[in-house]
Structures are given as structure tokens and as C-alpha cells.
Amino acid sequence: MTEEIDACRNHCTVNWEDWRRVTSSVPSVVRDETTPVAIAAGATITRTISVDDTMLDPRTPRTAATDGAGSPNRVSIRSTTSATSAAVLGAVEVRISRAGGVVTLTARNRSASTVYYHGATLIFLSPSPANKPVPSLWSAWNTASQAVYGVQTYEHDVKGWVQDNPSGRALAEALRNAGSFPPPLLQQVEILPDFRIQLGTVVRVIDTTGAQLDTLAWVIGNKVSASSGRITQILTLRGTATNGTPADTGLTPEPPARPGAPPPP
């Protein structure tokens, strides 16, 4: 049974961004102008709209009688191809997704009649260049682990998904708690072949004569081989709990080979 020093992380730092100072500039309006597009009963159409990468994601537009400048963030669904025909409300389900500089608008007709898509007006906000997110850090560490294993650092970049201090602190502490002490690793554990065991299975290891083990462990390696009619199954296991702080009892340090030797050049 061994412990992996690479599995120990006792000083964890989370990179997060403080968005409290960020303000938006004047909203930008992007129109999807098209000739009327028929949406049959139960059918779905997809529209793609190119936008600037600096713009923030738009909200899903609401159905209205018009999609003009006087009615922003709207999608126009009408009963016929005529621009003056009656607006159809509540019949079309609209969804918005964003990937880079492309916005995809999906419209599904839930009614029993054909309706017509006449276009949409979307509102985009852009962060003000004067007030950008403030890069921030939160660190959590375990001094007891560092006293035994040294300082083992881990830095996590959340890529903008954490934008407030309490969330950054909670994430850093969760990483610290999970990695302060390395889990034990058991290799080359030969068992009677049991094909119910798969990767990720939790097994119980009991050894009453050698290592005096009685522990639960995850199966992270599973090798089955056959030779001369004999089937062998060998597992690699990782403990579900740590061993705690190493005791290092009963050890006697070796004396120096050259007392008073000068430091190396």
C-alpha cells in the first residue's frame, strides 16, 4: 500500500473575477430581417444571426405584433405572409443559444396551424471598457498536511464562472478539503476472478495477516488474463478515505556519513 504525493493538494487557489464594478454600455440592437418563413404545425425552424464577440448573450425574445425598433427584443409571428396580418401569440416556442459570434434562434410551432416567422429584434449589451472585471484570488490551505508533505499547490481557473467572493472561497475550501491528504493506493491485488467487478466498483479489502487492512476502496484498474486454463484477475485500488497524518513512529535517523562536511560546490 502506497500514498501518491501527486494526489496531495494542500494549498488550493481559485482564480475568480469580481463583476461588481462592471457596467454595460448603450444596448446594441441586431435585427434578423427575412422574407416570411412558414412554420408548419409541429415543425421547427432555425435561424442563425452573426454578432460581435464582445457582445453579451441576448435574452430570449417575446412574441409581439411587431419586431420593429419601437418594440425591441421581440419576434414577429403572424398568421399569413402579409406584414399586416394578425399576430399569433402563444403558439410558437422560441429558444436562443450562443456559440462565439453566432446566435441561433429556434422556433417550434406547437399549434395545429401553419404560422409565419417575419423576423426578430434582439438586444445585446456590451461591457463598458472603463469598468472591467477585477481578477481576484482566494486560497485555502491545510498546515497539518503541509508539515508532513510540504506545500503542494493547485491553482484552479474557473474561466469566469465564479464572480463573487463567497463562491470563490467555498470552491477553494472544497478543493483543499478533498486533497489535503493523499488516498492510499493498493496495486497488484490478486483476487479470485469475479466478473461483476468493473472500473468504479467499490470493494472491501480485508487483510488480517499482513498489512492489517480493513478498508473500502475504488477499483481504478482491472486486469483479467488467462494462461494454461487458469484465469487471473488483478486489481488496482484507491482508498475511499485517507490514512490521516503519517505517524513515522519507530524510525531512527541515520547518522551523517561525513560530519562537518562542507556544502557541495
pLDDT in tens, 140-174: 999 999 988 889 999 999 988 898 889 999 999 99
When mean pLDDT is compared over 45-49, 71-75, 205-209, the highest value belongs to 45-49
Please report, rounded to a whole number, the percentage of residues in the chain having pLDDT higher than 70: 92
Per-residue burial over 154-182, b if 16 or more Cβ lie within 10 Å, else e, is eebeeeeebbeeeebbebbbebbeebbbb
Beta strands at 213-227 and 202-207: parallel, antiparallel or unpaired = antiparallel
Residue with the bigger pLDDT between 250 and 14: it is 14
* Beta carbons within 8 Å of 18's beta carbon, 6+ residues apart: 133, 134, 136, 163, 164, 165
- pTM for the model stands at 0.51
Here the cell at position 124 is 445585446
* Beta carbons within 8 Å of 245's beta carbon, 6+ residues apart: 144, 145, 148, 181
Give the amino acid at 231: I
163 touches 15 (CB < 8 A): no
- Taking the C-alpha atoms of residue 19 and residue 131, their distance in angstroms, rounded to an integer, is 9
* Beta carbons within 8 Å of 183's beta carbon, 6+ residues apart: 3, 4, 7, 238, 239, 240, 241, 242
| pLDDT in the model for residue 24 | 66
Taking residue 119's Cβ as centre, other Cβ atoms within 10 Å add up to 20
- Taking the C-alpha atoms of residue 193 and residue 143, their distance in angstroms, rounded to an integer, is 43
* Beta carbons within 8 Å of 1's beta carbon, 6+ residues apart: 184, 185, 186, 211, 213
Compute the average pLDDT of residues 75-95: 92
Residue 69 has pLDDT above 60, yes or no: no
- Taking the C-alpha atoms of residue 135 and residue 173, their distance in angstroms, rounded to an integer, is 19
Q: What is 49-108 written as a DSSP string? A: EE--TTSPPPPPPEEES--STTS-SEEEEESSSSTTSPB--SSEEEEEEEETTEEEEEEE
Q: How confident is the model at residue 217 (pLDDT cuts 50, 70, 90)?
A: very high
